[in-house]
Amino acid sequence: MQKIIILDFGSQTTQLIGRRVRELDTFCEILPYNKFPVGDDSVIGVILSGSPYSVHDPEAFQADLSQFVGKVPVLGICYGAQYISFKNGGRVEKTNTREYGRAHLQTFDMENPLFNGFSPKSQVWMSHGDTITAIPDGFEAIASTADVKYAAYWSGKKNPVLGEGTAPVWAVQFHPEVYHTLEGTQLLKNFVVDICGSRQEWSPASFVETTVEELRRELGNDRVILGLSGGVDSSVCATLLNKAIGKNLTCIFVDHGMLRKDEFSKVMKAYEGLGLNVIGVDASEKFFKDLEGVTDPEQKRKIIGRDFVEVFNAEAKKITDAKWLAQGTIYPDRIESLSITGMVIKSHHNVGGLPKDMHLKLCEPLKWLFKDEVRRVGYQMNMPERLIKRHPFPGPGLAVRILGDITREKVRILQEADDIYVEGLLNYRCDDGEVLYDKVWQAGAVLLSTVRSVGVMGDERTYEHPVALRAVTSTDAMTADWAHLPYDFLAKVSNEIINKVRGVNRVCYDISSKPPSTIEWE
């Protein structure tokens, strides 16, 4: 299958480039800046991302441009544009002020294939501290703004630096992948489809077909154990594996004691119609014991990840020829857990929390998908809508929605509050007839167990915990905005939680977006 390679130089928006390319029904891989797959004939184009570094920084990421420049079409974005200029004899200089925010292309070559379909004075989004003050010989400026002379440039069809007749290079100092570049999707379509020649073959149907084929080839007759959580990721993963290897898949659903209220029984029932071989394991005693007194969020995640593997290994001994542990890891999990800059946002239980001595090999068939793509794959396989539409739920469960240490009583309090909240979302119908739950990407309650607030119930003074409600809208979990829930809904839910849940006397609503906040509190 054709693919676009996106070389990641550490930009926060690299994954958005990938999302935009995927929306063009074109497969892409995001790889570290120095890991270009030399010799891969399926690569039809390369995109260089932005970076937190300046090209002049000693620690700036360096790529070998000769591996792909001139061989396939290349598009450099922000740092990528500066790096191409810098490495080919152009000039990149630091500016006194950071160029950040909206700008308009005042002059640009409307005949250039990169700008096909653009409107005059098209709005773009700038975000850089350095600027290109001279482009290399053989390159030509094709766009500028009021403040940026070389907002875009290209190599043309004949280039003494790259060699006559070679694939051209484009470079833009703005970010076409972000929402505020109004015709950014058009620019990427021009590059990916018209310039690189994508046949736009990537789709949920093609993903299912190729992934099932790859799983059969990779796994053969090996036995596979899959950790089910009840969420859409692990459910889609299980269905894919079931299509590929059938009876050789054994699913294990571990109750670590920090699931939502009655979640264990509800999930087991939900899988009855999928034809999966599911084993339920109550390991809550072990998890509570190992988490006793632990307050650091990273430690919680790592302990839960470790315990998951220990439980799986124990079950694997009962299946003597089990060789693989399958997980529903998706791309945003990996982005947040693994960074080429060395900065971890948070460890996910199925990424950063896995110990090195795990006895099973990992199988992660969804690791390149974003959440909305996972759902599209689920619909393609005719999975029950009740599983596909479920909100994401963290692997560590309520452990990362309880600030401070974990106890059974705190979990009970949060389960009751969370159940009232989620059931309320499911039962509230908006003016347009849509269920409020379906308008929200993810929702859950958070127990601020390290905080107590004064309240009054009847004639008595109370000194109990606050609960924070969180609801966000998103498409891929990489960015998220707080959901503007109706006031009457929030009032009803708040009143019900305070009246019915012992240990809570205050309810707050979280109105922070991602970034700068994460969706989960820990």
Tell me the catalytic residues. Answer: 78, 175, 177
Residues 239 and 383 sit within 8 Å (Cβ to Cβ)? yes
Helices and strands, number each (H, E), in the chain: 14, 20
How far is the CA of 95 from the CAs of 54, 56, 100, 120, 132, in angstroms?
Answer: 11, 13, 12, 27, 10
**Phi and psi (nearest 5°) for 118?**
-75, 150
* C-alpha Rg value of the chain to the nearest Å: 25
The C-alpha atoms of residue 485 and residue 490 are separated, in whole angstroms, by: 7
Token pair recorded at residue 366: 């969804």
The one-letter code for the residue type at 386 is R
Structure tokens, 289: 């014991």
Query: Helix, strand, or coil here: 456?
Result: strand
Q: Is 125 left (phi over 0), alpha (psi -120 to 50) or beta?
A: beta
DSSP 60-79: -----GGGTBTTB-EEEETH
3-state secondary structure of 433: coil
DSSP letter (8 states) at residue 457: E
